Structure 1
Amino acid sequence: MPCRPDFHGPHPRAGPCLPPSVLENRDGLSSTISRLRELTQDGDYAYYIDIAFFIADLPLPAERTAPQWLDGEQATRERWRELVTARRDFLRTRQ
């Protein structure tokens, strides 16, 4: 079952992209990213799309407004990917 980002308070959440990425569920991830695009189509919080692509380790879409990351795009991508990798490693050790 795909996770669906939704509005929580004043902004959407990118967090639901993490479980499908950890579990390597590409269909769930695709569905989640599509929903996130719908929620950010007015331009507010559009950087959540970048975060979702970082989490999934996917190339960024060409048609986007690039945010200014404090530490740069690559460092930000690596931090988000570390979350996925750490969670995957944790789940593997519990099996």
Structure 2
Amino acid sequence: MAWLYLFSAGILEVVWAFTMKQSDGFSRPGPTAITIVTMIGSFALLSLAMRSLPLGTAYTIWTGIGAVGAFVVGVTVLGEALTPMRIAAAVLIVSGLVMMKLSAH
């Protein structure tokens, strides 16, 4: 169950990062509210996952899902640049996440 909490927390991190961008410096109430609610949810789920997962594993995977997810949303939704260097960076992050998951006990 901890891995499901952690994955869900990571997805919520992507949502709050996107809606924070959409909030325009917290000047738009709708995206600002979504940002705050999903931040709280993300942190709550992360804390539940940390009850049984090691800190380093949980935090690394949470931030990795957020980083790669924000990259994907930036490219697909916001039209950000998709360059070979950025793709390589995302691949390295995902490789690190896989290694972290395989090393968890």
Structure with the bigger percentage of helix: 2
Please identify the structure whose Cα radius of gyration is greater: 2
- TM interval, shorter chain, is 0.3 to 0.5
Greater strand share, 1 or 2? 1
